[in-house]
Structures are given as C-alpha cells and as structure tokens.
Structure 1
Amino acid sequence: MNDYTTYLKKEGYTIKTIKSKELALQYFTKWCKRQSTCAIEIDYKTCLKYIKHLTRKGNSKKTINHKLSNIKTYFNYLISESYRTDNPIENTNVRGTQRSINYNLLEPEELEDLYYSYETDTYQEEYHKYTSKRNKIIVGLLVYQGLDTQDLKNLKLEHLQLNKGKIYVPSRKRSNARELELKPWQMMEFMEYINEVRKYLLQRLNIDTDQLFPSGDRFIITNTIIKKLKKYNRKIESNKQIRASVITNWLSQYNLRKTQVLAGHRYISSTERYLQDDLENLHEIVNNYHPIQ
C-alpha cells in the first residue's frame, strides 16, 4: 500500500482523494480474496461479478462508477510497475447515470468565426498590437485544439513543434498529455509570434521564462480574450463553454476513443458527458460501453 500511496502522490492526488482510493482498494482486495483471486490476476468477467456485488449492496450507479474509477487507478499503478499488462475495466462504466447537458454550444462555423473575427491590425500602439497578435493565437488554440486556461499556462516554448505541425500539451493531474495538429494558418501565425511577438513581450514585461505565453504567476490573458469575443458573438460565456463546444463537435466527427485522446481525458466516461441525446450518439454509447445494467 505504501508504494501505491507514493504513486498517488506523484500523480498529484489530494490527501482526501488518496484516502478514498485506498479505502476503495481495501474493500476490493477483501472481496477478491473471497473469490480466490487478486488485483494482479483478476480478469474482466470476474470484475463484472464485483460490479454485480456492488449493485446488490444497494450502491447507486453513480457510486459504482466512482468505486470503479478508484480501482482503475490501482490497475494503472499495477501496469506502471509491470505487475499487469492491461486494465481489465479501463472502458467499463455502468450505463444509465445522468450525464451533464451542455447548453448554448457553438457550432464549428461559429467557433472558426471567432478566430477570423479577432482583430490584430486596428492598434497603432506597439504593445497592444503585439498582445492582440498573441491573443489571436490563443483564440486559435481555444477553438481548434480545445485547450483550457491551465493548458495554455502550462505550455512551454519546447512544446511547440512547428517542424511537425503540432503542439504538445503536457499532462496534468486529471488529464493526459497529447499531441495536437495545428492548422496551416496557425503555423504561420506562430512563426511570427516566436520570431518577433514573444521576444518583444518578454522584453516589455521584463521577465525571463520558458512559458510559451509569458504571463508570470497569474494567467489572466483569457479573461481579456473572452471579454472581446463576447463582442463578436453574444452567445460567448466562457472558455469552458468554448471547450465544451469543441469536444461536442469532435464527437460528431470522430468516435469516443479518438475524442478522448484529443480532449486529454483520462477516462472515457469524461468524454461521454459531452455526448448529446440523439440516436447517433446513443448508438456510440452502445458500441463503446459494456452492457452493464
């Protein structure tokens, strides 16, 4: 258990979450012993028996999914330590739990219009001209790559891979790392940004940092950007709304697994929250989830 606790701390989980995961593991371990198995050896079919056990104990579907999430973390730990080669319940969730519904989503055309509408040539003063060019690049990362504020803050100069036409987004406590394709026009904007705009901003701000978007300790750039985007489209509410729109639109083009990778979700259940209630997406759920009722 001590090694597992160390793993959880390295993964950035809070003390409260670590305690919850350890308690879930203790309960799961005791059940496994009664079934003459253990976490290293248990297979998918036996895991289904554990879910049925939790159901008979009166746990709600939401609670069962929470318990499964904790056990998935332990399986991932076992994989990292080479005790297992697979996570038998990686894509397993109890269907029927209520999904959050995303209101006031933006269509792909509306998202792209935000990028093309963002003005950069209306400022005469040098500082505002350069910050507006930086901000337009950030708008592109919002509407094309679906990044959130913390992703933007964590980006470093080395994460920009113009030679590959991609940008690397590092992992966080609750998200996976991923490499995302850049649009050709984004690459052109980035070239000017790296060669001219960023250098000017570093000098003007009088800071030395490897942040892709120099900002100091607080990253409040997106606050200014969202305020300006509201002038272009009255539907704009927040960066979270934009990201939800991007992920939802991805789901209309790709399957759950690819969208999960693009969004950086650790668990496919996080991606499922963005599915809309139509027949096509309901079919997607049936194809990607084990039929546990």
Structure 2
Amino acid sequence: MIQSDYQKMSFEEYLKSKAFTNGSIRSGMNVIDQFKVWLKKENLRAEEVGYNDLMLYMKYRSRKGASQRTIQAYMSVIKHYFEHLLREEKISSNPASEIEVKGVKRKVLYHILEPHELQSLYHKYQDESPKGIRNKVMLGLLVNQALNTSELAKLEVKDIDLRQGIIDVKGSRRSNGRKLKLEAHQVMEMYNYVLKVREEIKAIQPKRKYQERQENENLFIGDGGNADNFSNYMTQLMIKVRKINPSVKNAKQIRASVITKWLRMYNLREVQYLAGHRYISSTEGYLENEMEGLIEEVQQFHPLG
C-alpha cells in the first residue's frame, strides 16, 4: 500500500494551518462543539450529514434565538469543518458548500484590536496638559467600558460615583442604561480630573470672543466650560491614538474590540448589559468580529449571499 505524504491533523490544527487568529480559532472550536452536541441529539455522525441536515440545523439555531447574521457566522465555521473532513478523506463532498443564508445585510467588519493593544493605547498615551488629561480619561472609558461617543458626550459629573468607582451611563432611544465599574487606575485619574483638571479647563478663557463662559454639568468640557465642541475633542484624541497604533480607525472600532473581548469572557446576556444593547441580536452581531478571520476567508472564496 502506497503511503501518502499528507499528514492528518485535527480541526484546530487545520485552522492554525490557515493562519487564523487565536481568537478566531477559539470561536471556531466553540461553534463546532455546539454543532456536535446537536448532532448527538439527532443521532447523526458528521460523516453522514447532508444538505438537508444542515438546513434543519439552521432552523434549530433560529428557534434558539440566533439572528440570521449569527447563523451565517456559524455556517461559515461549519463549512470549514467539512472542508477539513474532506481533506482528511472522511467525506467525499462538502455538504455546506451550497448553503446560502438569506436576509443578511452586509456589515462592516472591523480589524479587532487585541486586549493588550487596547491597554497599550491607554498606557502609552502621554499628555499632561489639562485637555490631554481630559482626553486620556475619555480614552479610558473607550478601552475599558466600551462607551460610544454619544454616551461620552452626554455624561455629566453626577454620573460618576467616585466613592463606589462606578459610572452611570444613561439610556437613550437606541441603547439601554447601565452601571459600569471603573478600573482602579481609572478611579484615581477620574478623581483628579473631576475635582481639579476640569476646573482648570473651565477657567480657560475661550479663544473666540463671542463665546462666553458656561456653567453646565457635562463631564467633558472645553475652554470656559463650553461643551458644544465634543467632536473636536474626539478628533484630537483619535489623531494621537493613531500615532500610537496606526491600525486604529475610529472609536467604533475600539468599542467593537472591547465587546469582542467581552464575548470571550462572558455570556451573551452579560455582554448585552455591559454594551448597553437594547436587543440581543445587536450583541450577536459582534460574534462576526470574534470570527473575523474565518468569515473574511469564507466571504472571499465562498460568498454566502
């Protein structure tokens, strides 16, 4: 018998051979573990699965509450799994190759920053001017609590409980409110900003002559206490952040990266609360970012519609 030069490998090794990220591999293995549980309940072996069985699995995931986008992500991984079995000569064709998930809108996939990259942005940010300190406090709320820019702009001083180390994020028409714990180092820097630096910024004479000093309770303010130029503060912050890491695109990317990190640590309902999502489907959408390597490759070679 002629021995083949091809060396057998596990599905995890197959994913590694495709140069997927560690996060993508972990997510992929989790999806397949769930798929195998379903196969066992249906008394099916993976080698016996056909197109109709996969359609039933998609319906099963839908009944369990998964959105079409999440089902698309699951099927992307499953398609790779059967491609692996095909390479191992355990099956003669890939039953997932013709699967098409309907009703999925295109969504921009962000390059996900790993946790150490997020923390590096924060710790490498150096600017001891009053406005620089303000911007670093804002950056801390981006990389630790995943606040969006609208939530940052609406924060008020009374929303910060320095004694408890908690920030109270108010809900809106598009998001739920929640109370989030501040990291220990954030409490100290927030304390310094609220009680000292914010007052220094308020005391600065506005450059524009027609602007008057304002008294408002916005947490993040500009010269003279004005709070109507928040987008300028964010622009200044992003310019400095991109100098630290050129792969950073915007605040939405940072938020997506933090939510993706949370998905590796907590269940969907917990992440839904932390992110302030009104609907669980919004949280599920970030599973695509968690499996970005898998999905990008599948969409490039095997579009799912």
TM-score by length of 2: 0.57
Measured after TM superposition, the shift of residue 218 of structure 1 is 3.3
Structure 1 runs, 4 residues or longer, greater than 6 Å off:
none
The residue number in structure 2 matching 1:237 is: 249
The alignment partner of 2:185 has SS state of helix
The residue number in structure 2 matching 1:219 is: 230
- Measured at CA, do residues 240 and 94 of structure 1 come closer, stay the same or move farther in structure 2, by a change above 3 Å? closer
The 5 A counterparts of 1:282-293 are none
Preserved contact between residue 101 and residue 274 of structure 1 (Cα < 8 Å): no
Q: How far apart, in 2, do the equivalents of 1:111 and 1:92 lie?
A: 31
Q: How far apart, in 2, do the equivalents of 1:157 and 1:94 lie?
A: 38
Give the letter aligned to residue 117 of structure 1: K
Establish whether residue 117 from structure 1 lines up as the match of residue 124 from structure 2: yes
Measured after TM superposition, the shift of residue 255 of structure 1 is 0.7
Measured after TM superposition, the shift of residue 100 of structure 1 is 3.4
Measured after TM superposition, the shift of residue 214 of structure 1 is 1.6
Establish whether residue 260 from structure 1 lines up as the match of residue 272 from structure 2: yes
Preserved contact between residue 101 and residue 273 of structure 1 (Cα < 8 Å): no
Preserved contact between residue 110 and residue 256 of structure 2 (Cα < 8 Å): no
The runs of 5 or more residues in structure 2 that have no matched partner are: 1-57, 72-102, 207-212, 292-305
TM-score by length of 1: 0.59
Measured after TM superposition, the shift of residue 101 of structure 1 is 5.6
How well do the aligned residues superpose, as a CA RMSD in angstroms?
2.3
The residue number in structure 2 matching 1:269 is: 281
Q: How far apart, in 2, do the equivalents of 1:149 and 1:94 lie?
A: 26
Q: How far apart, in 1, do the equivalents of 2:251 and 2:149 lie?
A: 8
The 5 A counterparts of 1:152-171 are 152-171=152-171
Preserved contact between residue 153 and residue 219 of structure 1 (Cα < 8 Å): yes
Give the letter aligned to residue 158 of structure 2: E
Measured after TM superposition, the shift of residue 217 of structure 1 is 2.3
The 5 A counterparts of 1:14-163 are 92=65, 94-95=67-68, 96=71, 98=104, 100=107, 102-121=109-128, 129-163=129-163
Count residues with an aligned counterpart.
185
- The CA deviation string for residues 108-141 of structure 1, in whole angstroms up to 9 with x for no partner, is 00000011001024xxxxxxx1111111111100
Q: How far apart, in 1, do the equivalents of 2:108 and 2:202 lie?
A: 41
The alignment partner of 1:250 has SS state of helix
Measured after TM superposition, the shift of residue 92 of structure 1 is 4.1
Could you say which structure has the greater relative contact order, defined with CA pairs below 8 angstroms and 6 or more residues apart? 2
The alignment partner of 2:180 has SS state of strand
Give the letter aligned to residue 266 of structure 1: R
Preserved contact between residue 148 and residue 255 of structure 2 (Cα < 8 Å): yes
Give the letter aligned to residue 213 of structure 1: F
The alignment partner of 1:167 has SS state of strand
